[in-house]
Amino acid sequence: MDLTLKVWRQKDKNDKGRMETYPVKGISEHASFLEMLDVLNEQLITQGTEPVAFDHDCREGICGMCSLYINGEAHGPDRKVTTCQLHMRMFKDGETIYIEPFRSKAFPVLKDLVVDRTSFERIQQAGGFISVNTSGNTQDANALPIAKPMADKAMDAATCIGCGACVATCKNSSAMLFVAAKVAQYSYLPQGQIERKERVLNMVDQMDKEGFGNCTNTGACEVECPKGISLEFIARMNKEYVTASVASEK
């Protein structure tokens, strides 16, 4: 496949940035999108141009590191896949492909296609955990009976890999699908009950501090989420938040 790539280039976080056009030739339709970018970078290095910086790690669709807004969609035109699992057969020979970083005030661009997603980590640190004494007398998790439907719901929410596609896709740059998944996964489990109320209050508070927008229920995040996280969890987070707010003593 011969392609024309329009790639966002930005020297550092203070640079204004611009789109650059690069032709690439002889790309296999079986290659992954990141492998295609590897080919581009080899080509750029040969030409003495600085390679394009982009995030990646496991290349198995589970780590949440790869991002990219490809041809107007987070993780590209395929559904329920991350960019590393996107294959070039999804594109046509001769096509022009736009490659941009995830855009959000809360995801500032560090270089080229690499964005700073530590805002997600700060939200997690605000309450996305359970406090367990790990002194050596930890109770066996299987000793706590959990109804199968509840365990399944918790697992569905827990499949969120925190890639940020929801934020990138949402017209408001809202992080509610991510936060909702993290709030919901513990709300179904007995281990999550002790910190249930403060968890949702603190995580939403941190989300707002980071500068994400508000959810207007367009549903775009659910469609573009590589793990298919459901909007149902946003409704659950809203309910959790109202309940926790009413009961709050602060």
Partner 1 sequence: MSKGFSTSSVGRKVLMALSGFFLLFFLLQHFVINFLSVISADMFNEVSHFMGTNGIIQFVMQPVLLFGVLFHLGMGLYLDFKNRAARPIKYEMDKPSENSSWMSRNMIITGIMVMLFLGLHFYDFWIPEIVDKFIDGKWDEPTKYFPHLVHKMEDPIRVGIYCVSFVFLALHLLHGFQSSFQSAGFNHNKYTPLIKKLGNLYAILIPLGFIFIALFHLLSSH
Name residue, tokens 């793990």. Answer: 227
Which residue, 45 or 235, has its beta carbon nearer to partner 1? 235
- CA 195 from centroid of its chain's CA atoms: 25
Tokens of 157: 């929410």
Residue 238 CB neighbours (<10 A):
16
Q: Which of 27, 154, 201, 229 binds partner 1 (CB under 8 A)?
A: 201
Residues 87 to 126: which contact partner 1 by CB under 8 A? 98, 100, 103-106
Q: Is 22 in the site for partner 1 (CB under 8 A)?
A: no
The CB-side HSE value for 85 (13 A sphere, CA atoms) comes to 15
Alpha helices in 126-231 (DSSP H): 148-158, 165-169, 176-187, 196-209, 220-224
Name residue, tokens 């990646």. Answer: 56
Stated as kind and residue range, the H or E segment containing 100 is strand 96-100
Which residue, 27 or 70, has its beta carbon nearer to partner 1? 70
Give the residue among 46, 48, 45, 3 at the shortest CA–CA distance from 22: 3
x/- letters, 23..62, toward partner 1 (CB under 8 A): ----------------------------------------
Answer for the pair 206, 167: CB distance below 8 angstroms, yes or no.
Answer: no
Stretch that binds partner 1, among 20-28, 65-73, 137-145, 187-195 (CB under 8 A): 65-73
Stretch that binds partner 1, among 48-56, 59-67, 118-126, 198-206 (CB under 8 A): 198-206
Q: Which of 41, 71, 124, 191 binds partner 1 (CB under 8 A)?
A: 71
Give residues in contact with partner 1 (CB under 8 A): 6, 8, 19, 69, 71-73, 77, 98, 100, 103-106, 169, 171-174, 176, 201, 204-205, 207-208, 211-220, 223-224, 231-232, 234-242, 244-246, 248, 250
